[in-house]
Amino acid sequence: MRRKTVGVAARFMKNKRSREWFQAPDYYGFGRRAWLRSEGFPADVFDGKPVIGICNSWSELNNCNAHLRTVAEAVKRGVWAAGGVPLEFPTISLGEMFMRPTTMMYRNLMAMDVEECIRANPLDAVVLLCGCDKTTPAQLMGAASADIPAIMVPGGPMLAGEWRGQRLGSGTDGKKLFDQYRTGRLTDDEWCEIEGCIARTAGHCTVMGTASTMTSLAEALGMTLPGSANIPAPDSRRMAIAELSGRAVVGMIEQELKPSRILTRAAFENAITVLMALGGSTNAVIHLIAIAGRLGIRLTLDDFDRISRRTPCIVDVKPSGQFLMEDLFHAGGVPAVMNRIQDLLDGSCETVNGKTIGDNISAASPGNETVIRPRDRALNPEGGIAVLLGNLAPNGAVIKQTAASPDLLRHRGRAYVFETRDEMLAKIDRDDLPVNRDTVLVMRNCGPKGAPGFPEWGHIPMPRKLLNEGVTDMVRISDARMSGTSYGTVILHVAPESAIGGPLSLVQTGDEILLDVPDRKLELLVDAVELARRAAQFTPPAPHYQRGYGRLFLDHVTQADLGCDFDFLSPDYLP
């Protein structure tokens, strides 16, 4: 005889998918119970307790997420304490430093893995464990499409690196030091020492790169407990909030608190506002468009630019500023940032703890006004990201204006064109490269289809001959992305991309280009008749894949302004 559903478990009978698996009266109901008991569970796990999936992107191929199995243990404590049954499961993970050609190529694959694992299994709710750049948007995309109650627990940033008295932010400082190394100002031994201390703990990169940005935006969207995103990975409070998240997710089932209730247009506008206040990664533009797209919400580049113009950048963290994520955490983290700009936010949005975002941030004033600045001492009166339009980017391009050189934000210069990244790498350090500080470097075939996979190649290194002359920045344009940890006057995501015949494919060395960030313009100063003549001669490069996932990617990935999701994953897809 089956036990009766009694006590605390009876509360959870409402809205439980897992009941269909474990309480079915047929042979398969018996089989599912028996097979789960083979993991050592007693019979009362089937007494109506909710089953909570712990979707874990742990992998030894992803150092940033390498501690997430420990975090999962803390989540499990919370789930058991609240009367649920936690079951941890793996998905593919996306380690930014290791994967080729780029993790971006696999973000949609991971999102499908997350979605289908949730959909196919006896789960009533899910806890999403993420960290490294693409793991956060991939989990949010998958969870949004599966649409059962979901809470996110980011793994948190690494502790700051330190070398010979200098604090090092992974990514940003690594790239600056590499410029010193390749111009002979650091020795091999010094470079090896830096290698050992720049990334000294588990966790994601320590600057406001894509990982820090996306986990912070998950919190701004209402998908984490307040204060969750910025706790450093090794800090004991990381485990405490993981346990609290495990408790909270059980309560979300009764409330039917699904992603579709939390991830509203107003919540996305809040997230864009926080992105601008943080000086966050340009990659967030693509990811937020893609996550929203899973819920049928169409975010446009205009939304980003409109919100950027009204939102000051107030967070002084690298690469836009000088501090690291650890400092932002001690200053109060995302709740304190949101508190400072609360008049720009919609406080009525629901969050995973059942309260509104306004309730969650109302008492969270910043504890350090150097890291989270008052609005009258903002780093920049506008947000970190500006959207550019013009005949060189009819569907838009982006620039992280807070990480660019102010004297280059209005610039006119002659193009020097690299056909591919390989060509750029072969030539960039040549002493006879015909460029000067006013040259505009252009690199093509680096977009979603052209690279393939839309890699972070947009931060074209400074030519060595200019570095040796003391020039540290110049205008660089491509259809690639850029690591959120990078800096410089770098224009990215030019759409449509060159490989499908976008205007970037028409630029020739010597053409004049106009950049005007305050007026949001990116123009190729070549007359329309000449551009039409060049367009008529365009032939697309051969596709990189004929089969497998690569082929699926090339056939279905959308352009940067549409979020680079697969077209068939949109809820209103019609073949």
Tokens 């990189």: give the residue.
544
Nearest to 287 by CA among 305, 276, 299: 299
Among 96, 269, 350, 561, binds ligand FES (CB under 6 A): 96
Separation in Å, CA 228 to CA 53, 235, 303, 305, 346: 19, 12, 27, 28, 20
The structure tokens listed for 461 are 């290194």
Among 133, 479, 511, 523, binds ligand FES (CB under 6 A): 133
Q: Which of residues 178-207 bind ligand FES (CB under 6 A)?
A: 204-205
DSSP per-residue codes, 160-183? PEEETTEEE-TTHHHHHHHHHHHT
CB of 483 to ligand FES, least distance (A): 8
CB of 94 to ligand FES, least distance (A): 9
Q: Which of residues 158-177 bind ligand FES (CB under 6 A)?
A: 171
Q: Which of residues 320-379 bind ligand FES (CB under 6 A)?
A: none
Answer for the pair 311, 375: CB distance below 8 angstroms, yes or no: no
How does DSSP classify residue 372? B
* Residue 211 interacts with ligand FES (CB under 6 A): yes or no: yes
Residue among 172 and 498 whose Cβ is closer to ligand FES: 172
CB of 65 to ligand FES, least distance (A): 8
* Residue 242 interacts with ligand FES (CB under 6 A): yes or no: no
Among 72, 111, 132, 524, binds ligand FES (CB under 6 A): 132
Q: Return d(Cα 489, Cα 402) in angstroms, integer.
A: 9
Residues 6+ apart with CB under 8 A from 293: 299, 562, 563, 565, 569, 570
Separation in Å, CA 320 to CA 316, 371, 489: 7, 12, 12
User: Could you give the string, one character per residue 492-511, with x where binding to ligand FES holds by CB under 6 A and - elsewhere?
Assistant: --------------------
Residue among 97 and 240 whose Cβ is closer to ligand FES: 97
CB of 546 to ligand FES, least distance (A): 31
Answer for the pair 394, 294: CB distance below 8 angstroms, yes or no: no
Sheet of 150-154: strands edge to edge?
85-90, 51-56, 125-130, 150-154
Residue among 22 and 329 whose Cβ is closer to ligand FES: 329
Residue among 62 and 439 whose Cβ is closer to ligand FES: 62
Number of residues engaging ligand FES in binding (CB under 6 A): 10
Q: Return d(Cα 202, Cα 145) in angstroms, integer.
A: 30
**Which residue type is seen at 374?**
P
Residue among 209 and 502 whose Cβ is closer to ligand FES: 209
Q: Return d(Cα 203, Cα 324) in angstroms, integer.
A: 13
CB of 404 to ligand FES, least distance (A): 21
Q: Return d(Cα 336, Cα 371) in angstroms, integer.
A: 11
Residue among 159 and 517 whose Cβ is closer to ligand FES: 159
CB of 481 to ligand FES, least distance (A): 14
Q: Where is 513: in which H helix or E strand?
A: strand 512-516
Residue among 95 and 366 whose Cβ is closer to ligand FES: 95
Residue among 111 and 233 whose Cβ is closer to ligand FES: 233
Residue among 325 and 417 whose Cβ is closer to ligand FES: 325
Q: Return d(Cα 3, Cα 48) in angstroms, integer.
A: 10
DSSP per-residue codes, 199-266? S-SSSB-SSSSHHHHHHHHHHHHT-S-TT-TTS-TTSHHHHHHHHHHHHHHHHHHHTT--HHHHS-HH
Residue among 403 and 513 whose Cβ is closer to ligand FES: 403
**Which residue type is seen at 184?**
G
Among 48, 209, 321, 413, binds ligand FES (CB under 6 A): 209
Answer for the pair 398, 282: CB distance below 8 angstroms, yes or no: yes
CB of 173 to ligand FES, least distance (A): 13
CB of 96 to ligand FES, least distance (A): 4
Among 8, 10, 97, 192, binds ligand FES (CB under 6 A): 97
CB of 473 to ligand FES, least distance (A): 22
Cis peptide before 452 (omega within 30 of 0): yes
Nearest to 507 by CA among 442, 445, 559, 424: 442
CB of 122 to ligand FES, least distance (A): 32
Residue among 213 and 270 whose Cβ is closer to ligand FES: 213
* Residue 64 interacts with ligand FES (CB under 6 A): yes or no: yes
Q: For the chain, what is the radius of gyration of the CA atoms?
A: 24
CB of 62 to ligand FES, least distance (A): 7
CB of 209 to ligand FES, least distance (A): 6
* Residue 532 interacts with ligand FES (CB under 6 A): yes or no: no
The residues with which 512 forms a beta bridge, in sequence order, are 414
**Cα four-point dihedral sign 320, 326, 331, 332:** positive
Tokens 């391009």: give the residue.
397
Residue among 211 and 301 whose Cβ is closer to ligand FES: 211
Could you list the residues that contact ligand FES (CB under 6 A)?
Answer: 64, 96-97, 132-133, 171, 204-205, 209, 211
